[in-house]
Chains A and B, each alone.
Chain A
């Protein structure tokens, strides 16, 4: 292991090799790197690096920090690390390349945004993609850009659709698959029709588009009433996964618009609240699994799709786990999309009574037009988008969850193409019994059996990182970054970074030395909504900094 690391870092010093499709597919063979959004295509957010572990974590100390200066909206990215260089994206689409061992800036790129850009969701960006000597980023005005990884110079830039027209843009990280860059869009609260696009990585030329709402003549179109399909949202605002064996890309699709009022879009509203499996070369639909037919709660399925090969009821299964915003975790067979199991991640959950053996929702509690309904969890989600992690060492899925509720009053709103259409107003409330708060737990991915739970005063809104050192890292809204024992959930270490955590920590190695790096910087739509339950959260300081940690000398 150590020899391999040394060899690889030597290769890095001699000049980084281009990141090819092969390297991305075999990313797990490069423990010192974090080459894609979730490190590996299976979305595990797990690194086998184990030099930092339970026995020595007390010696984990900060070694550098990198201030971006763009504090609006916080820092929400997943840093990528390739052969000793870290790449990060910040609010307003700025990109920095940083020496991953020293924190020194190598180059920066400032996206030339249109003047007086009206940003529909917020100025943040959640990550980049690497490949073929290029760095890819989606932008606030719905462009996709490619930069030279060595210099930060723009190589190509393509406008996908005018923001003024669709009300949609890109905050999620693209995914490089083979010779293409695949990217989704925001817009679940906008009167528009969602899609996923693939572009040629080298030239930027458009290759395929998958509409997440079927058009006239396409199967599933009948699940929309009248012309509601044109304005049905179905955004694709997070990053998908890829299975090289089946050549399928798995992407989560968001809620139908309007969020809380669905009487004028009667039907199941495909492919909202679904995971779609697409042929990576053509974008053709292989299968879909819809978790929430005819959603009236804003329960996106847009979060990560974790790919797991596990034994279930005596059979080896190829599975896909997806956390729904409504607080249920769904597991399906990723070869055909058939339902396997669903389990609740949170205690406070009243929008349904349960889910049956076939995956059907039982006892829907739909808010009625013009009336105030008390719904748990809140529209902030039983979990926010911040990702879970899977450790093959324990076989457990580590994810946060949030205990909170809301009142919601659905209302009928005028549909204007590209304009916001929520179909109601909500206000966050504490649960009727017990306190509002967050937690990070360790779960059996198929049954949801909980092995431990770590509770926090405020919702945990940063992603989890699992390591070969049997550690799970995440951070909280007050700025504490901490490590838990992956086996017991016991808190082993913490460090106050000074601003809340809303991004995704990573680990990597340079010259054989393991680092843990985390974005710190409070912000986001949800951060702005927390004061509805916790008034003091209005004064949580924003920030935008990368902290890197390593073991101090004994």
Chain B
């Protein structure tokens, strides 16, 4: 593999929950330093795609390959260890933050670096403090999550993911659980990360944000990728009728 290969290639991802086929052969390629926005109606499978990339779900078939490994082919006999190896390259930011409520902000952030990656505590703390400062939360280091607003909690969630130094950041509707007035502070942080060339996949309903930040928009519906391309094209001048209807619905809800 050469350095110009995509950071991540997913091919033919399939996943069913019971009788419901949620993903019907999804292909995705994500180049290093690029931001991909996954959009689509609820139930379209976009969150499931994200979860498959992080090993939170095991696809029924298909391949997920990172440049430089691991590369996992699902469907046959996949060892648990193999499937779990995927998460070493990526980190997830959840819709509901999922911070550890019994740990302080700092403890939340250094838990992975110290306990899993076995980095020296001192380094992990220094890193965490630097990252907290960057998202404007330097003073919150010793607070418990319940003392923070939703926007602050989500910024901690982002820092917790960054602290793992992953190659790929995955955002699962990072602002959907927030009060409207708190959405901006989280989107600003994500935008800054984009400017710093972090590679990101963002599942979002914020089309204006996707158009501004994403290098590529992937529109999914019914478990397939309906169309993908430059944000201006997909969101302003969709080729497919389904995309057009979705964009219209979000722009003019009533």
Decide whether A and B are members of one complex: no
* B→A interface (CB under 8 Å): none
